[in-house]
Structure 1
């Protein structure tokens, strides 16, 4: 008999808890919570729809989203005969540059480098250095750079070169403008 009473009390408490939980859930949804995603109250939209709405709001009308080229091309480096420098002004495109011993890869302001292979050091004409975004530190002139570290060049005239005594080329990924001296 005691088991039946305990079981009945347990079932009663459980039923009351479920009922109260349902009531509080319904009350919470009515008090400002939105319905399920994909309904009229909470629609699911695509990026292209949002882009179109932004264009409309900016007064540009409805436009089709831009297409990404399948084979982006990088313009070949050009030679400047007046100072015998090889330059390439490629913004937001990643170029792979091979730097031979004795050459300097000089960055334009805002350019980023990643040394992929070889041993390189920072080159700077002044006391200031280059930001190593991977380690979160500043690297001064003549200090070595770790491979696969993202370097940011805040001003023109700073760059990297092959570490002295190293006979191997330096392979560098470059995003932004640069020159080879």
Structure 2
């Protein structure tokens, strides 16, 4: 049962119970409980249905946003294996630590990668030192090409190509 269906069923049940309690309180047609026309009831039901539809679509949008939040970037390190001959390309601000294997810097026209451990700029084609924190400064195709199977720790967005 979808969230829309559950929400609709809950609202319908609440409406039925509420109207039953209200109807049991007074005499139909009295000044405390006036009779209403079918068109009035139909208009109110239509308003309620529109409100439920709007709220259900808002819930769907928020659910999608919540589900996508964890996919884009991670706040903790993730262990990733990069097969030889493939590359890991990071998004802006992605942090990578090479644990095992060999890899070379994939640079762009804007430069290479930043080795925060040494405090240096790693140029295209240079070997990535193991256990060094490397940062991808821009999302312009920079990353690491695996010359031998790589095991890396990654924090942030990335793609394996």
Per the normalisation by structure 2, the TM-score is 0.53
Query: For structure 1, which runs of at least 5 residues remain unmatched after alignment?
Result: 1-74, 76-87
Q: Which has the higher helix share?
A: 2
- 2: CA distance, partners of 1:176 / 1:152: 10
State the partner residue of 1:169: 149
What SS does the aligned partner of 1:96 have? strand
- 1: CA distance, partners of 2:110 / 2:126: 12
**Offset at residue 135 of structure 1 (A):** 0.6
State the partner residue of 2:142: 158
**1:143 alignment partner, one of 121, 126, 129:** 126
State the partner residue of 1:78: none
State the partner residue of 1:179: 159
State the partner residue of 1:109: 92
State the partner residue of 2:10: none
- 2: CA distance, partners of 1:132 / 1:155: 14
State the partner residue of 1:134: 117
> Greater relative contact order: 1 or 2 (C-alpha under 8 angstroms, separation 6 or more)?
2
**2:106 alignment partner, one of 123, 130, 137:** 123
- 2: CA distance, partners of 1:153 / 1:143: 15
* Count of residues in Structure 1 that have an aligned counterpart in Structure 2: 91
**Mapping for residues 83-94 of structure 1, pairs under 5 Å:** 89-94=72-77
**Offset at residue 162 of structure 1 (A):** 1.2
State the partner residue of 1:98: 81
Q: Which has the higher strand share?
A: 1
Runs of 4+ in 1 over 6 A off after TM superposition: none
State the partner residue of 1:60: none
- 1: CA distance, partners of 2:79 / 2:145: 15
- 2: CA distance, partners of 1:159 / 1:179: 9
**Mapping for residues 27-42 of structure 1, pairs under 5 Å:** none
